[in-house]
Amino acid sequence: MTLDALSDAIEALLVAKNLRRMAELRPALTPGYCLRAARILEGSERILIGTGFPVLDTFETDGPLGAIALYQALEQLGKDCYLACAAPLADALGADFKVLKLQAFNLEDGLTEARDSLASLRPDAIVSIERPGLAADNHYYNMRGEDISPRCAIFDYYLTESAAPSIAIGDGGNEIGMGKLQAEVSALDIHGAATSCDELLVADVSNWGGYALIAVLEALTDTRLLTAITHEETLQYLSERGSIDGVTRENTLTEDGLPAAAGAELLTELQRLVESHAPVKN
């Protein structure tokens, strides 16, 4: 299997369940986006990964799980990574990861914070995994149509104000990056995000888009990365720090209402696809 064929197979796998109509958005994207995004990461040294979708007074499991896995895989490849998120997620992860804490909750402060942080960190690539995106009215909305702006620190400007290539992953239409498909997202029953990106990955669960990038990076670098992902252990780690399922709003070891086994099954299928491309060396 060629790299192009591998990317296409992974892109199809990511939306196979079509839980929130992401399979309908996929044809609007130029095929090979997983491969192009992975190549951006392969060629970057310092990478900023934004995540954390506020639910009630805490954060959901979808997003941080994939962000942590990608952070760890990229560090295994020798990259310098930072997780960008707001409280309480930033405080929950601060002891174990390099965290850039997002603290601006209005547009003016968000723009200033982004410009200052970008000037300081100088990232070579920026990734957003399940991070709320500003709608056309400059508000943030959840899947229920509720305005959650007061609880959303601003990450959009890290993508729009940086010259570095940007990658975004979403599963519903209201996440950063979905502005790339604004016309298609407008057909969904959701307040769509207007913030765009260079490469957009659509997935049934945003975490799985992070896993997909790791799978393609494994094929690109001949380095075992997928087997290092601790899916259920990381779910437990997040649960112990206050995460909840974004759909059920309960503190369970689930992602968007799906059991942990669903993510584990996807990882197994990703491994099978990568091995059909070529065996990794180390």
Q: Residue 282 has what pLDDT?
A: 45
CATH number at residue 61: 3.90.1640.20
CA distance 80 to 57: 30
Outline where 130-243 has alpha helix (H): 156-160, 182-185, 206-221, 231-240
Domain presence at residue 282: no
CA distance 65 to 210: 8
CA distance 94 to 12: 35
Q: Residue 278 has what pLDDT?
A: 67
Residue 54, judged by CB atoms within 10 A of its CB (0-12, 13-18, 19+), counts as buried
CA distance 213 to 238: 21
Q: How many domains does the chain have?
A: 1
For the whole model, what pTM was predicted?
A: 0.96
CA distance 79 to 45: 5
Q: Residue 277 has what pLDDT?
A: 85
Domain with 42, as residue range(s), is 3-276
Domain presence at residue 210: yes
Count of beta carbons in the 10 Å neighbourhood of residue 115: 14
Digit-by-digit pLDDT tens for the chain (282 residues) are: 899 999 999 999 999 999 999 999 999 999 999 999 999 999 999 999 999 999 999 999 999 999 999 999 999 999 999 999 999 999 999 999 999 999 999 999 999 999 999 999 999 999 999 999 999 999 999 999 999 999 999 999 999 999 999 999 999 999 999 999 999 999 998 999 999 999 999 999 999 999 999 999 999 999 999 999 999 999 999 999 999 999 999 999 999 999 999 999 999 999 999 999 865 454
- Cis check for the bond before 259: say yes or no (omega within 30 of 0): no
Domain presence at residue 281: no
Which positions ≥6 away from 237 have C-beta within 8 Å? none
Domain presence at residue 39: yes
